[in-house]
Amino acid sequence: MRIGVLTSLYPAPTRPFEGIFAERRWRGMADRGHEVSVVQPLPRTPGPLARGAWAEIRDMPAREVRHGIPVDRPRYWHWPGRSAGNAERFARAGTAVLCAGGVRPDVVVADYAWPAASAVDAVGACGVPFVISGRGSDVLQVAGIAELRLVLARCLTRSAGWVGVSQDLVDAMDGLAERPGTGALVPNGVDLERFAPGDRGAARERLGLAREGTLTLVVGHLIERKDPLLALEAFARAAGTEARLVFLGRGPLREDLERSVAARGLTARVSILGEVPPEELQWWYRACDCLLLTSSREGRPNVVLEALASGRPVVATDAGGTRELLAGMDGALVLDRDPESIAKSLRRTLEASWDAAALRERVGHLSWEKSCETLESYLEQRRAAA
């Protein structure tokens, strides 16, 4: 198949870790013999005056080839506070590339539902089936905004179909479209070769960490919905004097987090290290005693897949598809967002003994090969039905 991917989330030289799970999916599809092309429309930036995130967007190349997959990044006008109009402009810019020339895709996937779903009519006018792929906030957060909820619902009903990375997310998309049982589950995979159990002491030595004491790991963007401040609060209540906490991620809440760490007198035991590449992240999972996740919304968190594949226990709030990964795992899922409840679960988890092989077995069936096989079958069906 010729597969066109329309997305707002994909790695680039200035943001190498942004959407690496999406890239992993499409690399897998390319490895299966499909011709994949990615279009990532970007907002125009204020040129040399751009700073921070805007500078990163400005410096993304208009076209590059990543792991054999061409990535085009056309520009569109983005106006603050005009979400629906911005989505339409995003869609026009993306469709102009996807449907250009004589050879068009056999199917287009909106991989990260919003704002890419807005291209449903334009892509349909080109005679190409359009599939919407939900990953989490691209559906759940958008559905909570009155202005956008009806727009996304309409896009779903006019598409050739939709998939989600968790059953919870699929059900949410079905509910938006008022078509129960329509969507399909296509879970993300996990790299079972990279993320595997290993010696904790050796991993700590490799990372320059002390062998003694417990290590709790938080992996993810430092943003409101990941709630790193709640993770810090829970750790502060649960941790003994030898316990340490490491945040791996970046985001706008970093300064707030640093201030809170200092105010609690935890500077010596809490580290905020920024993003790390997957080849380094694997050692952090092996070095830790537990992964802590305090999100308010999730699709099906990749960090939970990676931690379990690495044979490490998880304590997480009950958000989205997280429950599907941790069901039946004693103490892993915290049903409320009370820091004391999270602290109690974290304390029990750090004190318990865990069978690394048993934890890994929970996700042993979720390989990227299986994920791509499921997606391939669904897209073939949508193409045949068009």
Residue 287's identity, in one-letter code, is: A
Decide if 2-189+367-385 and 200-361 have a common fold: yes
Name which CATH class applies to 2-189+367-385. alpha beta
Write out the chain's pLDDT in tens, 386 residues. Answer: 999 999 999 999 999 999 999 999 999 999 999 999 999 999 997 777 778 888 899 999 999 999 999 999 999 998 888 888 999 999 999 999 998 877 789 999 999 999 999 999 999 999 999 999 999 989 999 988 988 999 999 999 999 999 999 999 999 999 999 999 999 999 999 999 999 999 999 999 999 999 999 999 999 999 999 999 999 999 999 988 889 999 999 999 999 999 999 999 999 999 999 999 989 999 999 999 999 999 998 988 999 999 999 999 999 999 988 999 998 888 799 999 999 999 999 999 999 999 999 999 999 999 999 999 999 999 999 999 87
- Alpha carbons within 13 A on the beta-carbon side of 118: 23
**Tokens (6 digits) for 96:** 């102009």
Contact partners, residue 181, CB within 8 Å, separation at least 6: 174
Name which CATH class applies to 200-361. alpha beta
Domain ranges of the chain: 2-189+367-385, 200-361
211 secondary structure, DSSP code = S
CA angle 165, 169, 175 (to 5 degrees): 145
